[in-house]
Amino acid sequence: MASFNRVIMIGNLTRDPEYKQLTSGQGVCRLGLATNREFKNKQSGTMVQEVCYIDIDVWGPQAEPCKQYLQKGRPVLVEGRLKLDTWQDQNGQNRSKHLIVADRVVFLSSGAQAGDVTGVQDSPDAQDFGSARVEPQNPVERELLNQIDSVKKRKRAAPAADNFGGTTNQGEVDFKDEAPFKDDLPF
């Protein structure tokens, strides 16, 4: 059976980061994230705001910059996996909650809103950690950042003719619909 566990969220920090260094020497930083969803109530016609709160654990080398440069209210993009923590409280009751174990934390500019990734630094070679710049060590991540940068540049380009008979509008291809393929199969 195949499974896939991936979470990407953009939101604002609900509290200052909590940093701990384990006896093994590895650091872990816990963040509290709030994301908003606004929708129209179909019965009353009023706008409703729904808030989702979730804790994020950042392990290893990313934990230190999170502790150093993040504070309550700062917008961040978090990518990672969902994990269920279970424990017993002081009364012996079983408790549980979901949290995200972060693989990647991107610090957004203070003016960014949830769902607005324009606050992410445009450079394909570095992530912005406040005033410090950290070069990605992983060649795959470096290549992905280069590809993202090339897509951003294409979207900024003016409309031009493409190879499909249509024109592009800010990097998008205008495909022409055709009738479905007809064959001699009986089904």
What is the reported pLDDT for 146? 72
Instruction: Write down the residue that tokens 């440069």 correspond to.
Output: 69
Tens digit of each residue's pLDDT (9 = 90 or more) over 6-56: 999 999 999 999 999 988 989 999 999 999 999 988 899 899 999 999 999
Range of the domain at 114: 7-86+93-120
pLDDT value at 72 more than 50: yes
- Here the CATH number for the domain that contains residue 110 is 2.40.50.140
CB environment 131-162: b (16+ within 10 A), e (fewer)? eeeeebeeeeeeeebeeeeeeeeeeeeeeeee
| Pick from 43, 47, 36, 45: nearest CA to 14 | 36
Q: Is residue 126 part of a domain?
A: no
**Domains identified in the chain, total number:** 1
Q: Is residue 156 part of a domain?
A: no
Whether residue 8 contacts residue 78, with contact meaning beta carbons closer than 8 Å, is answered with: yes
DSSP one-letter code for 118: G
